Amino acid sequence: MTNTLGFGVVGAQFMGKAYAIALKAVPTIYPLSAAPVCEMLATSSADGAAAKARELGFARSTGDWRELVADGAIDVVCVCTPTWLHKEVALAAIAAGKHVLCEKPLAGNAADAREMAEAAERAGVKTLVGFNYAKNPATLLAREIVSSGEIGEVLHFRGAHNEDFLADPDIPIGWRERAATSSHGGALADLGSHIINAAQFICGPIAEVVGQTSIVHPQRPDPKTGALAAVENDDQTSFLAKFACGATGAIEASRVAMGRKMGLTYEITGTKGALVFDQERMAELRLYSAADRAVRRGFRTILIGPEHPEYGAFCPGAGHGFGYNDMIAIEMRDIVEAIAAGRQVWPTFRHGYETARVVDAVLNSVGERRWVRIEETGAEGTP
Amino acid sequence: MTNTLGFGVVGAQFMGKAYAIALKAVPTIYPLSAAPVCEMLATSSADGAAAKARELGFARSTGDWRELVADGAIDVVCVCTPTWLHKEVALAAIAAGKHVLCEKPLAGNAADAREMAEAAERAGVKTLVGFNYAKNPATLLAREIVSSGEIGEVLHFRGAHNEDFLADPDIPIGWRERAATSSHGGALADLGSHIINAAQFICGPIAEVVGQTSIVHPQRPDPKTGALAAVENDDQTSFLAKFACGATGAIEASRVAMGRKMGLTYEITGTKGALVFDQERMAELRLYSAADRAVRRGFRTILIGPEHPEYGAFCPGAGHGFGYNDMIAIEMRDIVEAIAAGRQVWPTFRHGYETARVVDAVLNSVGERRWVRIEETGAEGTP
Amino acid sequence: MTNTLGFGVVGAQFMGKAYAIALKAVPTIYPLSAAPVCEMLATSSADGAAAKARELGFARSTGDWRELVADGAIDVVCVCTPTWLHKEVALAAIAAGKHVLCEKPLAGNAADAREMAEAAERAGVKTLVGFNYAKNPATLLAREIVSSGEIGEVLHFRGAHNEDFLADPDIPIGWRERAATSSHGGALADLGSHIINAAQFICGPIAEVVGQTSIVHPQRPDPKTGALAAVENDDQTSFLAKFACGATGAIEASRVAMGRKMGLTYEITGTKGALVFDQERMAELRLYSAADRAVRRGFRTILIGPEHPEYGAFCPGAGHGFGYNDMIAIEMRDIVEAIAAGRQVWPTFRHGYETARVVDAVLNSVGERRWVRIEETGAEGTP
Amino acid sequence: MTNTLGFGVVGAQFMGKAYAIALKAVPTIYPLSAAPVCEMLATSSADGAAAKARELGFARSTGDWRELVADGAIDVVCVCTPTWLHKEVALAAIAAGKHVLCEKPLAGNAADAREMAEAAERAGVKTLVGFNYAKNPATLLAREIVSSGEIGEVLHFRGAHNEDFLADPDIPIGWRERAATSSHGGALADLGSHIINAAQFICGPIAEVVGQTSIVHPQRPDPKTGALAAVENDDQTSFLAKFACGATGAIEASRVAMGRKMGLTYEITGTKGALVFDQERMAELRLYSAADRAVRRGFRTILIGPEHPEYGAFCPGAGHGFGYNDMIAIEMRDIVEAIAAGRQVWPTFRHGYETARVVDAVLNSVGERRWVRIEETGAEGTP
């Protein structure tokens, strides 16, 4: 490795731009062991890629992601495509010896995710899954508080990732709503992955689940023809979980939750306190501590500041605000430093697989109308 | 019926005092068809009852609830005892031709609740179950909004009734934690009844459920001996629900939810909007409406005022506040007017039974690790 | 004094009903040294008074308040009239040897208030001014916290009493908007009195002020003729204050503050912490304490419970809610116990006068466009 | 102008890093008419500057700001020094024909600020003052709402900029607390400038003021000797304002406001609605609209999204968050586009002067204990 790292980004929609912003900003935010370079952007057309590369500041572009993956100047491949392409691109990148940052959900199902994780592990490349919200200082602080035992043993985790971007039934069908381009999991895989991942990050492994899903708007207009096309995966899902540590959980995901724009929320109840978080107020963590004397107890709102995880690199003043792109910058720092240090950083493809297993287990539980153990799911051949 | 109504209250703990306050205040709050009279108080000892009757302003007292039930001056019997006594007292009162207001949960199981409901229906007396939180103006408004279709079809109901009064494991065991004096349902029956009832009130019947329970603190000291005694019912429960209308639900109850003092909360998502409520801020209802133009959408906090249900009888100024005892006063108005008008008011023992069936179904689902339909539960012999 | 106390209430609008509710409920809420009796109600017409007395549960009624004041069965006169009548009724009551509870503002100006306070002191009767919000458990807790030094020395008090009941310019003119029936102070005297009183209660005497007032809607329709009539006092006022303790203050009052229904709010900054309160969430007090360790600091929301002042008499469960009429019940307990114990309870007419002096000083500062010391105002002849 | 713009930044503390991050990120966020280049960094020592330049990604560095100002590759000089140096650096930059972005407060007093504004206007260079919070989408939306008349005529503006970074009296004295290195205004000039600027931005010119200041901790340890040194300007200030439009105002600033980390807050009351903002929840604006029907009125929380000002360039998903450095990026876009388009963008040095006049007027009002008109202040020789 030289002291630069060439980044190639496949896909230029929502996350493509966020990645580009973060790659430009991050060397000024953190002292880095290597300088990331926006080397190449791939989209589905050469012309589109060229225009987008100019806009986002990539040195080169291509209409064929295989070219990007094969390019000698690329050290890290960022996979920001629709889900169905994740596996193919990532496996090709791994085969070419590249490190890979892949968006969530890691794959359309747990078996594919496992295949990706195993390939990466065999190849020894560094991997990262884009569970960006878990990089938020407030959630990092939540994990610190839970891990330290400050709120005692965890008794219950209630979480959700609710948005309303598909609440309007007239919104045309897209790749997210079709099983072939996305997953048999809809909101569950697309959004639920985030809160499942957060639950695992903070409270440890999930052991079993039972869930229910519903497709609220079963048909949407095709964006080209206007004809109604079938939605093939869940608009909303809720499930119960039992954690390996003994805690219970209740988790939801919805893409039709009117009013929720970034409704990643959780409440963690412990034997000595509780935590409440809402990503829409991402710079706050609410803490209740039984250690306070009785007449002064209450949920306190901690505004994230430089003495909390990560924040200080962005701003020396507490409570001055933390934004969406700031989380992405932390991810970029993570992959850069993982490569530089030769060690994996959380969450790797293996963690992405663990999240995908829960998604699959929930879907199985819906089909079979019973509790499903995670170890029943996607586990064959796990090394 | 004369233009007074003699009230006899059995039990003088938490609810006994609340009832007494409400009975004194309510004729000044509402114009009533009959004046309630605090006629008699029964507790487990004659001396204790006499002292408490003086304190709370009852005309007479007794150490034997059977005497109260049999008393000719009593028109309405209020059952505020531990759960295990509800059925016996209520059935005796019904047999004596009294109207009955019974605290929640109506009984220790659905079968008993059904027996009580059927007895009352056969006798033609008026009944009311003490689901006081559903009398809160904000929740009445929530029901109005949902019923009118203002937020469209209901897609999902997430609710909880969480408190932390048993979070401390050193709190001695009481009647609530033993199956014989309370129910096989712990937090689920004691607190969960409230949120199940609210869910049914606002969203209609629940069709099936699957749940999980846990006993967090399996032993507590006996208040007399100090020896550890077994807790026999759930400290916390969460369950999924499917409503008859097609909506999904996720409902929780806990008596060990550190930080929550009156955590009866719900979020109702519809196709055209959403509602959020938290009983700890009982004079507020939050509404999101898709009818607002896009750039001005957001959850608005409606402060309850005289143009909303019930509030105006208490105070002519909006947002001036509404308290716990005010809800009880509404209950007292309800039972008085039910008797005066000769018609039942919501929630009757029949509704209390419907709530109890859900509690039992959740417990069955835990035992059998599967979804349980409500119609499987407590239904034998239902007329 | 016998063991009952006859209450006579003059006026039957907003506060009249609240008083009646409280008088009925309070003996059940608190153990009292004497039982209050709703003896007589006076309004401006005999027929109206009779109807209202039946509705509110008073034994007798009159269309002439002088009759009430002279009645031998009346021990306590409650003055709930428009402001202009306060002085006349209260002085007559005092002259008749009655104890007096008078609504706020105590009088239309400080000189009148002083005359009332001095008359009461000479007569030795017990007095109380209806600053009901200061009886709220959360505000009582705030005072306790400040007095104990828990947030250090007070540096700044920012407060407001904002409502919007006159925001609509089409609302007809009433007694509040005319100097003769109310005061030269509009929102300042009517609402501002509450927050000035709270400031004095928590932070001690105010030493000097400078303010600005504005009449936002200078004319309103006469309710009978519809002709436009002049509004004669302020719709909104803001002023700076210097407290005797050295703290600074910034205080506001408005009756045209769109969106605020009971906007009595304050933030008190001390050298070791801060308090934030909003009467619209009357059962909460927010506390920031520098004694918490740095990485866990934040404003905590304390839900009022039985271990805080007063609340336990109303409900044994923390956070179950506290309402408008509950505060009035505390006032009733206060006047009953003041009489029984033969000692004054806060806030007496003397305190009402101290609040009125600040109102007058603000008005003077507006006229003279300068800082005005409180001791310049209404002080002549103060004993 | 070429299609790059060389930026030279003088000062490398709080704002220096923020500027560098923003300069790197902004071309990816916005399509720009010219590419900003981090050309040179100046601090007070050559070695320190060199190290900091490497860290922050500047091409060159210097220990002498005059060198930077004179450098031919510099098009824009960013002045991030302590206040006392603003004028000298800015005037030198202007004299060298450079465009200037200067931190707030523009100068230590209004006269200096005027001199700077006039020099820039004569030279025809583009200027920008670092009132970054006014670039926040929520505040831009607030201005849009007020300007459009959506909340009617503005009646009152209550605002504050409160922080607690100097609440601890043991924090050593720094340049901010000395008149010579900062200003005769302490919190008022340093923080108050932000909220005064916001008030002017949203509600128009301020016409007159009266204020009070206090030094809460009159001495602080010298960071080198530990000896106590005198604090020379206000720790907290509050003042009343009258706006040219007729609205009233009440504004505060504090650097000792325990619990407030970024307490830039305002509530704007209009005849048809109201707005509430808190920079600690910078991605939210609360709106109350009298246009809603009565029973559905309430403050709604608008989460900023791509349909609101600026946000869409950062993230296509509403409510996903907006951070401190994002505001700085908007500032960088503004100065780049101002230069490219050859037109000034708000807020120029002229606007910085208008804010400084209010600061001086408040200080004068304190000295003279009276209302002071802004036109009395700093106005001599204004062109």
What integer best gives the mean pLDDT of chain C?
96
Which site among C248, C261, C276, C371 would you substitute to test the D interface, given the most D Cβ atoms closer than 10 Å to its Cβ?
C248
Count of A–C CB contacts within 8 Å? 42
Nearest CB to B295 within list D286, D298, D307: D307
The 10s digit of each residue's pLDDT in C113-130 is: 999 999 999 999 999 999
Chains with ≥3 CB–CB distances under 8 Å to C: A, B, D
Whether the CB-CB separation of D310 and D137 falls below 8 Å is answered with: yes
Contact A320 D262 (CB under 8 A): yes
The Cα of D306 is separated from the nearest Cα of chain B by a number of Å equal to 9
The 10s digit of each residue's pLDDT in D210-222 is: 999 999 999 999 9
Whether the CB-CB separation of D331 and D100 falls below 8 Å is answered with: no
Q: Looking at the predicted structure, is the pLDDT value of residue C375 above 90?
A: yes
| Interatomic CA distance for residues D249 and C254, integer angstroms | 13
Nearest CB to C259 within list D160, D240, D274: D274
Nearest CB to B28 within list C14, C20, C316: C20
| Interatomic CA distance for residues B303 and C324, integer angstroms | 14
| Interatomic CA distance for residues A285 and A150, integer angstroms | 14
Nearest CB to A305 within list D261, D321, D323: D261
**Nearest residue of C to residue B165, measured between CA atoms:** C317
Contact C210 D256 (CB under 8 A): no
The 10s digit of each residue's pLDDT in C319-347 is: 999 999 999 999 999 999 999 999 999 99
Pairing of strands C372-373, D60-62: unpaired
Tell me the chain B residues in contact with residue D295 when contact means C-beta distances shorter than 8 Å: 302, 307-308
D83-111 average pLDDT score: 97
Burial class of residue B47 (count of CB atoms within 10 Å of its CB; 0-12, 13-18, 19+): exposed
Count of C–D CB contacts within 8 Å? 124
Contact C289 A307 (CB under 8 A): no
Contact A301 C297 (CB under 8 A): no
- Map tokens 């008022």 to a residue: D188
Chain Cα centroid distance, residue D332 = 14
The 10s digit of each residue's pLDDT in D306-341 is: 999 999 999 999 999 999 999 999 999 999 999 999
- Number of Cβ atoms within 10 Å of the Cβ of A64: 14
Residue D33 is predicted with a pLDDT of 96
Rg (CA), chain D: 21
| Interatomic CA distance for residues D80 and D155, integer angstroms | 36
Tell me the chain C residues in contact with residue B317 when contact means C-beta distances shorter than 8 Å: 14, 163, 165, 261-262, 324
Q: Which of residues 307-346 of B touch D (CB under 8 A)?
A: 307-308
Q: Looking at the predicted structure, is the pLDDT value of residue D120 above 60?
A: yes
Helices then strands, counting H and E runs in chain A, come out as 10, 17
The 10s digit of each residue's pLDDT in C180-213 is: 999 999 999 999 999 999 999 999 999 999 999 9
D280-307 average pLDDT score: 97
The 10s digit of each residue's pLDDT in A303-348 is: 999 999 999 999 999 999 999 999 999 999 999 999 999 999 999 9
Contact B298 D287 (CB under 8 A): yes
**Nearest residue of B to residue A249, measured between CA atoms:** B238
Residue A382 is predicted with a pLDDT of 38
**Nearest residue of C to residue B322, measured between CA atoms:** C323
The pTM (predicted TM-score) of the whole model is 0.97
Residue D380 is predicted with a pLDDT of 52
Residue A381 is predicted with a pLDDT of 40
The 10s digit of each residue's pLDDT in D227-251 is: 999 999 999 999 999 999 999 999 9
Contact C151 D214 (CB under 8 A): no
A291 at the C interface (CB within 8 A)?
no
Contact B259 A288 (CB under 8 A): yes
Whether the CB-CB separation of C77 and C101 falls below 8 Å is answered with: yes
Residue B383 is predicted with a pLDDT of 34
The Cα of C265 is separated from the nearest Cα of chain A by a number of Å equal to 19
Name the residue among B314, B294, B15 with its Cα closest to residue C21: B314
Q: Which of residues 128-167 of C touch B (CB under 8 A)?
A: 163, 165
Residue B307 is predicted with a pLDDT of 96
The 10s digit of each residue's pLDDT in D48-62 is: 999 999 999 999 999
C18 at the D interface (CB within 8 A)?
no
Count of B–C CB contacts within 8 Å? 121
B293 at the D interface (CB within 8 A)?
no
What integer best gives the mean pLDDT of chain D?
96
SS (H, E, C) chain D: CCCEEEEEEECCCHHHHHHHHHHHHHHHHCCCCCEEEEEEEECCCHHHHHHHHHHHCCCEEECCHHHHHHCCCCCEEEECCCHHHHHHHHHHHHHCCCEEEECCCCCCCHHHHHHHHHHHHHHCCCEEECCHHHHCHHHHHHHHHHHCCCCCCEEEEEEEEECCCCCCCCCCCCHHHCCCCCCCCCHHHHCHHHHHHHHHHHHCCEEEEEEEEECCCCEEECCCCCCEEECCCCCEEEEEEEECCCCEEEEEEECCCCCCCCEEEEEEEECCEEEEEEHHHCCEEEEEECCCCHHHCCEEEEECCCCCCCHHHCCCCCCCCCCHHHHHHHHHHHHHHHHHHCCCCCCCHHHHHHHHHHHHHHHHHHHHCECEEHHHCCCCCCC
Count of A–B CB contacts within 8 Å? 122
Pairing of strands A248-254, A154-162: parallel
Burial class of residue A215 (count of CB atoms within 10 Å of its CB; 0-12, 13-18, 19+): middle
Which site among C296, C299, C310 would you substitute to test the A interface, given the most A Cβ atoms closer than 10 Å to its Cβ?
C296
Phi and psi angles of residue D43, each rounded to the nearest 5 degrees, phi first = -130, -170
| pLDDT band for position D382 (cuts 50, 70, 90) | very low
Pairing of strands D248-254, D236-243: antiparallel
Q: Which of residues 259-288 of D touch C (CB under 8 A)?
A: 259-260, 269-274, 288
| Interatomic CA distance for residues C282 and C332, integer angstroms | 19
Using CA of residue D128, residue D134, residue D136, residue D137, what is the dihedral sign? negative
Residue A14 is predicted with a pLDDT of 85
The 10s digit of each residue's pLDDT in D255-277 is: 999 999 999 999 999 999 999 99
| Interatomic CA distance for residues C216 and D269, integer angstroms | 12
Which site among C30, C314, C324, C326 would you substitute to test the B interface, given the most B Cβ atoms closer than 10 Å to its Cβ?
C324
C-alpha distances (whole Å) from C79 to each of A54, A293, C106, C266 are: 77, 42, 10, 28
Nearest CB to C240 within list D167, D169, D212: D212
Nearest CB to D298 within list B295, B296, B301: B301
Q: Looking at the predicted structure, is the pLDDT value of residue D161 above 70?
A: yes
Chains with ≥3 CB–CB distances under 8 Å to A: B, C, D
The Cα of A286 is separated from the nearest Cα of chain B by a number of Å equal to 11
Contact C308 A295 (CB under 8 A): yes
Q: Looking at the predicted structure, is the pLDDT value of residue A229 above 70?
A: yes
Q: What is the value of ipTM here, to two decimals? A: 0.96
D362-383 average pLDDT score: 83
Contact D292 B302 (CB under 8 A): no
The 10s digit of each residue's pLDDT in A3-12 is: 999 999 999 9
Each residue's pLDDT expressed in tens, for chain B with a length of 383 residues:
359 999 999 999 889 999 999 999 999 999 999 999 999 999 999 999 999 999 999 999 999 999 999 999 999 999 999 999 999 999 999 999 999 999 999 999 999 999 999 999 999 999 999 999 999 999 999 999 999 999 999 999 999 999 999 999 999 999 999 999 999 999 999 999 999 999 999 999 999 999 999 999 999 999 999 999 999 999 999 999 999 999 999 999 999 999 999 999 999 999 999 999 999 999 999 999 999 999 999 999 999 999 999 999 999 999 999 999 999 999 999 999 999 999 999 999 999 999 999 999 999 999 999 999 999 887 654 33
| Interatomic CA distance for residues C75 and C69, integer angstroms | 9
B296 at the D interface (CB within 8 A)?
yes
Contact B303 D298 (CB under 8 A): yes
The 10s digit of each residue's pLDDT in A154-172 is: 999 999 999 999 999 999 9
B302 at the C interface (CB within 8 A)?
no
Contact D301 B302 (CB under 8 A): no
DSSP A140-199: HHHHHHHHTTTT-SEEEEEEEEE--TT-STTSPP-GGGSTTTT-S-SHHHHTHHHHHHHH
